[in-house]
Structures are given as structure tokens and as C-alpha cells.
Amino acid sequence: MNSHWIITNRAVVKRKVGGKMVEVVDEGNATVLPTFRVARFVPPSTFEVANEDLLKANVGFVKDDYFNSYGKINAQTNERRLKGTKQLFLDLYKTMANAGPDKGDVLFFIHGFNSGWTDSLALLQKLHKLYVEPRESRINQIVLYSWPSHGKLIRFPSLKPRAYLDDQEIARQSGELLGRIFGKVLRFYADIFDEGRDDRFEHCGNRIHLAAHSMGNQVLEEFIASISRHFQYTLFSEAVLLNADIPWTALEKDQPLYRLGDYCERIHIYNHKSDDALLVSERNKNGNLLRGNKRLGKYGPHDLSAIPNRAIVVDTTKTKFDGVIDEISDPYYLAALESIKQFKIPGEQKERIADHWGFLYRPAVIGDLMSVLGGRSTTANEYESTRSKMGPNLFRLTG
């Protein structure tokens, strides 16, 4: 089984576990760091929702390193002997190159609000099950950006009034750091594909996709703002905004994500009009919907004619949820449930979870996203039975 990767700017400390000193995330510390670490994650073959120790035991931090060049890396280099991003990038390249054309893509994922370290591991395990295990999926590896959201710290009453706003500030700082990380990605590309090298690497032909959920889209906003000041290259194939906790004007000209289209081949925006989890954002930031604080992930874009031409909107409001969640074997359910309970949102909890996390719990959304990541065109026959075309770049998802 291929391992996945985690990039995090959470605090990492050494602690004695099982009689030996190992590096672990300090889960009581939500301070955003200006530096990052990388770690491998091997998905457990079986999982019980209460077994957080199993998830954490399957994480191995890579030794850190500081360097300016990837030029000494070649195809024969053993990536396991490298440190930091050298090991990460070379492992990703080799896995993509050796996977073949039908199962070699990478999904870079940014999680949302109220997601602690263990919650983000549970999310990665869930993403593996839904988007890597199916034979028809092209995704072979996932890279999760685990930024230091408060997560379980929000359960302490003294933190509740400010935790959401704190997470917004942490998201912004984490987005700036992500820009620096992708500067290293471009350095890696430049060094291994340098035409002046006799042993230059071959392009593998597989793709990297980007997805951001909820407040992870605020991380994405700062990421795009950061890199737009320094470079403009196509980094991703598909970019997917899932229940985005950002203003519904965010993709309009002169707004933070308008330039997202410069860095990807296509954008998909998934919204759900009953996503009441996003009401928390609307009320916390401005407290007044008339001041332009409607959220993209609930209402969709404010003006469809003002968003980039290659941006496609998928309204998932009409999709069905059968109410069935396997609470024992679902690694992410408790994290989602905790968020919904803290928000004190009225209504059936599982339905609310399916509204905000449709990409994890609504079959029609999962199937549509799988098709998008598979590269199917907007007008492909595969969509005819599940999408209704409501406008030039607007679809309603059914099923």
C-alpha cells in the first residue's frame, strides 16, 4: 500500500512513546508556526472510530533539513535516505512515474475549521477509503496540509467565543507559508527537469489536483495571494472548492481567488444551500448578511458572469442522503459530529454533517467529484444522468 503525506505547521515535539523518544504533534498547542514539517502516513487496513492511537502510530515524521537546491538528486537516489522536502518530492515523483497512466494522480487537500491533528488524520484515512481505494479512481496518493486549527481545543468553554476568529487568522498565516512551500516545489521542478542535465528526469504525464474544504479555502486565498506576487505557472490540473467558507464574491475580479485560474486547468465550486455550518461564519465575521458576507459554499457565486471562464459551479442541494453513517468504522464521523454540536445548529445532526461534508457522505457528490478528478469534460456523457445544466457554467447535481 502506498503511503500518503502530511505537511504541517503544527508544533512538533519529542515525547516518549512505547519506551522510545519519537516526534509527535503537540495537540494542546494551536500556535501557528512559520516553519513546517513533513510526515508519512500509512492508512491502517482496519479502523475503529475510537482508536485515535492507531492513526497517530501510523505517522512518521521525516527528519528536517535546510538546503537551497535539489540538483544532486537523480533517478537512482534512494528517497528514504533523504530529509524533509527532498524525500517528499522525490517519493511523489517516483510514485507518480511508476503508477501508470490510470492510477498516478496526486490530490493535495486542505482541511477546514475545527480540525485538530487527530481529526486531520481521520480525514486523511476517510479520503483514502473514498478516493484512493476504488479501482476506477486515478488518485494514487494524497498530500494533506494540516494547519493548526483549534480542533478539540474548541471544546473548552473559555476558547469558544474566539476560537473561530482565531482559526481565521491561523488560516491566513498558514496560507502564506503554503506559498513558500510551493516555491520549493518549483525549485524541485527546475532542478530535476533542467535541460542542461544529462540525467534529467522525464515528465510522468500524471497530474496533481487541489481541493480545499470549508475554512481551508481561506488558507487557499492567502496561498494564491502569496504566489501571485512571485510566479505564474500551472501547478494543478483540477482545483475544487468544497463548501467554501469564503465570501461568495471571492472569485470575482480583484478578489483573492480570481487568479486561481492562472494556476490550474479548471475550477469546480461545490455548494449546498442548506449548509448551515457556514451560517456560523456569516454571523461571526460581520453579523449582517447585507454587508456581503454570504458564503460561497452555501449560496454559490454572487455573479456567475464575473467568475473565471473555466470555473464550474455544482449545486449539490438536491442530492440525497440516506442517513446511514457507519459510526464504528467511519474514522471522521466523530470530528464532524463535534463541530456540528459546537455550532448548536438545529435539525438532525447526520443530515447537517452530510450538508457540509457532502464530499465524504453524499454518494452523488462523491461520484461527481471522482469524475471531475478523473478529467471528464463538463459536457461528457457520464454526467447526463446526474447533472442538470442550469446555465453556461452552472449545474445542479441530482441523485
Task: Find cell 476558547 and name the residue.
Answer: 159
Q: Is the pLDDT of residue 286 over 50?
A: no
Rounded to whole angstroms, how far apart are CA atoms 254 and 246?
Answer: 15
Q: How confident is the model at residue 160 (pLDDT cuts 50, 70, 90)?
A: very low
Q: Where are the alpha helices (DSSP H) in the chain?
A: 52-57, 84-98, 117-131, 160-192, 216-228, 279-285, 296-299, 333-343, 349-356, 358-361, 363-373
Q: What one-character-per-residue DSSP string does 208-250 give?
A: EEEEEETTHHHHHHHHHHHHHTT-----EEEEEEES--SBTTT
From 83-87, 108-112, 382-386, the region with the lowest mean pLDDT: 382-386
Q: 196 vs 60, which has greater pLDDT?
A: 60
From 115-129, 151-165, 342-356, 369-383, the region with the lowest mean pLDDT: 151-165
Q: How confident is the model at residue 290 (pLDDT cuts 50, 70, 90)?
A: very low
Percent share of the chain, pLDDT over 70: 89
- Output the pLDDT for position 369: 96
302 burial (CB, 10 Å; 0-12 / 13-18 / 19+) is middle
- The CB-side HSE value for 17 (13 A sphere, CA atoms) comes to 14
Q: How confident is the model at residue 322 (pLDDT cuts 50, 70, 90)?
A: confident
Q: Is the pLDDT of residue 287 over 60?
A: no
- Output the pLDDT for position 23: 93
From 40-54, 77-91, 349-363, the region with the lowest mean pLDDT: 40-54
Task: Give the mean pLDDT of 87-100.
Answer: 94
Distances in Å between the Cα of 105 and the Cα atoms of 2, 3, 77, 205, 272 are 12, 14, 22, 9, 27
From 28-42, 175-189, 253-267, the region with the lowest mean pLDDT: 28-42
Q: How confident is the model at residue 359 (pLDDT cuts 50, 70, 90)?
A: very high
Task: Give the mean pLDDT of 289-313.
Answer: 86
Q: Is the pLDDT of residue 77 over 60?
A: yes
Distances in Å between the Cα of 178 and the Cα atoms of 33, 73, 220, 221, 232 are 12, 23, 9, 11, 15
Q: How confident is the model at residue 161 (pLDDT cuts 50, 70, 90)?
A: very low
Rounded to whole angstroms, how far apart are CA atoms 180 and 80?
Answer: 24
Cα dihedral 383, 384, 387, 388 sign: positive
- Output the pLDDT for position 159: 39
Instruction: Measure CA of the first residue to CA of the last residue in the chain; give whole Å.
Output: 32
For the segment 225-257, what is each residue's pLDDT rounded down to a tens digit?
A: 999 888 888 999 999 999 999 999 999 999 989
Rounded to whole angstroms, how far apart are CA atoms 77 and 130?
Answer: 32
Task: Give the mean pLDDT of 49-67.
Answer: 89
Average pLDDT across the chain, whole number: 88
202 burial (CB, 10 Å; 0-12 / 13-18 / 19+) is exposed
Rounded to whole angstroms, how far apart are CA atoms 235 and 227?
Answer: 11
| 294 and 265 Cβ atoms separated by less than 8 Å | no
Q: Is the pLDDT of residue 79 over 60?
A: yes
Buried b (16+ CB within 10 A) or exposed e, 145-169: bbbbbbbbbbeeeeeeeebbebbbe
Q: Is the pLDDT of residue 193 over 90?
A: yes
- Output the pLDDT for position 164: 58
Within 10 A of 37 (CB to CB), how many other CB atoms are there? 20
Rounded to whole angstroms, how far apart are CA atoms 264 and 108?
Answer: 13
Task: Give the mean pLDDT of 122-139.
Answer: 96
C-alpha cell at 257: 481567488
